[in-house]
Structure 1
Amino acid sequence: MLRKIESENMGSSNLGWLKSKFHFSFAEYYNPDNINFGVLRVINDDLIQPNTGFDLHPHRDMEIISYVIDGELTHEDNMGNKNTLGRGHVQYMSAGTGVYHSEHNFGTTLLRLLQIWIFPDKQGYTPNYGDYKFNWDDRKNKWLHMVSSKEGSAPIKINQNANIYSLELEQGKEISFPVKEGRQAYLVQIEGSSTINTVELSNRDGLEIVEEDILIKAKETSHFLIIEMKKPAELY
């Protein structure tokens, strides 16, 4: 099963310093039929102006992943972590029993990132932070496995049975991705346009995939992120 989510039908927000597209209900955008997709709770496509950002604020019991598309993201938290990441880099924070953090664009150009929240497999984990500066070329015309469960093989490991991959596919090329029985996935067309099986996707569109293998054909050079996970069950 495939279900396309067009970017123009998503929730949106414009605070001046921050413009966002909400793939799921978030902040002032609330749709009772669009709260989550399995353990995936949030994908926000954020555009953050230079010298602005999210000041210190709390989270708990959520696996939070930030994927930088353009610009520079500077993270700081009450665990003593501070780092700046660029295009194609990933940061991860397990909020667990509670953490305070800030996220800013201290660069001179617009920052675009995907903010992703995933429910953990249980509550009460000890808070944790990590980041990884992936080589951009490692996702050119092939899937780059960036995030996995603690039992998986990706460099970043989270407290959930889920995987995150990225891909840059050159115009005219094809690539497949399996979504097996008992699994589902959510794909974001970050940049470019493509045909996935029979579905046409444009820049910033989303696609729900349930137990169906997909074949991606790039109509123009395209950038993707996919979150693959077990089909829903009780979260706790």
Structure 2
Amino acid sequence: MIRKIEMQNMGKSNLGWLRSIFHFSFAGYYNPNNMNFGVLRVINDDLIDQEEGFDTHPHKDMEIISYVVDGELTHADSMGNKRSLKRGQVQYMSAGTGVYHSEHNYGNEILRILQIWILPDKNGYTPHYGDYMFDWNLRKDKWLKIVSGQTGDAPIKINQDVNIYVLELDNEKEIELAVKKNRQAYLVQIEGESDINGVQLSPKDALEITEENILVKSNGVSHYLVIEMKLQD
């Protein structure tokens, strides 16, 4: 089963320096029928102006992944980490028992990131931070697995049974993705347009997929992110 979610129907926020699209209830956008998709709690598509960002604030008991679409993201946290990442690179943080962090745009263009929150398999983990500088070409016309659970094979491992993939698909190319029995997935059309099992997606649209294999056909160069996980009742 698949279900399209159009960008126009998602939550929105405009603080001037920050323009956000909320895939699920967040901040001033609250919809009791749209709180999560399985263990996926948040996807925020954020545009952040230069010299702006999220000042130091706390998190607890959440697995947090940031995927840089455009610009440069600078992270700092209470564990002593400070890093800057660019297009296609990924940072992750297990907030666990509690951590403070900040995220800013100190680059020379508007920053676009996908901010992803995943519920952990239990509370109380020791906080942890990491990042990975993926070669962009590793996702060209093939699924690049960037995140997995602790027993998985991705370079980034988090405390939940999920797999996160990214892909850049050239014009008129096709690729399959298997979403097996007792599994579900959430796909974000980051850039470009496509046809997925006969459903047309435009930039920033999304697709819920439950126990169904998909065939992705690109219309122009397209960029995707998929979060695949255990099916939740």
TM interval, short-chain normalised = over 0.9
Cα offsets for 1:1-51 (capped at 9, x unmatched): 100000011000000000000000000000000000000000000000000
Q: How far does residue 67 in structure 1 lie from its aligned partner after superposition?
A: 0.1
2:194 is matched with 194
Return the alpha-carbon distance in structure 2 between the equivalents of residues 232 and 182 of structure 1. 8
Aligned Cα root-mean-square deviation (Å) = 0.5
Partner of 1:216: 216
Task: Tell me the amino acid that sits aligned with residue 188 of structure 1.
Answer: V
* Residue of structure 2 in register with 1:82 after alignment: 82
Q: Which amino acid aligns with 2:228?
A: E
Q: Which secondary structure state, in structure 2, belongs to the residue aligned with residue 193 of structure 1?
A: strand
Say if 2:46 is the partner of 1:58: no
Identity score, percent = 70
**Aligned counterpart, 1:140:** 140
Residue in 1 that maps onto 2:163: 163
CA distance in 1, matches of 2:87, 2:219: 22
Number of residue pairs aligned between Structure 1 and Structure 2: 233
Whether 2:108 is the aligned partner of 1:108: answer yes
- 2:30 maps to a residue whose letter is Y
SS in 1 for 2:67: strand
Quick one: distance in 2 between partners of 1:98 and 1:37?
24
In the alignment, the residues of structure 2 paired with residue 230 and residue 199 of structure 1 have an alpha-carbon distance, to the nearest angstrom, of: 23
Whole-Å separation in 2 of the counterparts to 1:156 and 1:232: 23
Unaligned 5+ segments in structure 2 are: none
CA-CA distance at 1:108 after TM superposition: 1.4
Separation of aligned partners in 2, 1:26 and 1:92: 19
2:220 aligned counterpart, secondary structure: coil
Which residue matches 1:231? 231
User: What amino acid is aligned across from residue 160 of structure 1 in structure 2?
Assistant: Q
Query: 1:141, CA displacement in angstroms?
Result: 0.1
Amino acid at match of 1:199: V
CA deviation after TM superposition for structure 1 residue 85, in Å: 0.1
3-state SS in 2 of match to 1:142: coil
Taking the aligned partners of 1:142 and 1:231, their CA distance within structure 2 comes to: 24
Following TM superposition, by how much is the alpha carbon of 1:232 offset from its aligned partner in structure 2, in angstroms?
Answer: 1.1
> Which of structure 1's runs of 4+ aligned residues deviate more than 2 A?
none
For residues 76-114 of structure 1, give each alpha carbon's deviation from its aligned partner in whole angstroms, at most 9, with x where no partner exists. 000000000000000000000000000000011000000
Other structure's SS at 1:225 match: strand
**2:115 is matched by which residue type in structure 1?**
Q
Distance across 2 between alignment mates of 1:206 and 1:92: 22
- SS of 1:138's equivalent in the other structure is helix
How many Å separate the matches in 1 of 2:96 and 2:31?
Answer: 26
Q: CA deviation at 1:198?
A: 1.1
2:29 match: secondary structure:
coil
TM-score with structure 2 setting the length: 1.00
Counterpart position of 2:125: 125
Specify the code of the residue in structure 2 equivalent to 1:146: I
Q: Please show how residues 40-59 of structure 1 align to structure 2 within 5 Å.
A: 40-59=40-59
Could you tell me how far apart the structure 2 residues matched to 1:17 and 1:155 are? 33
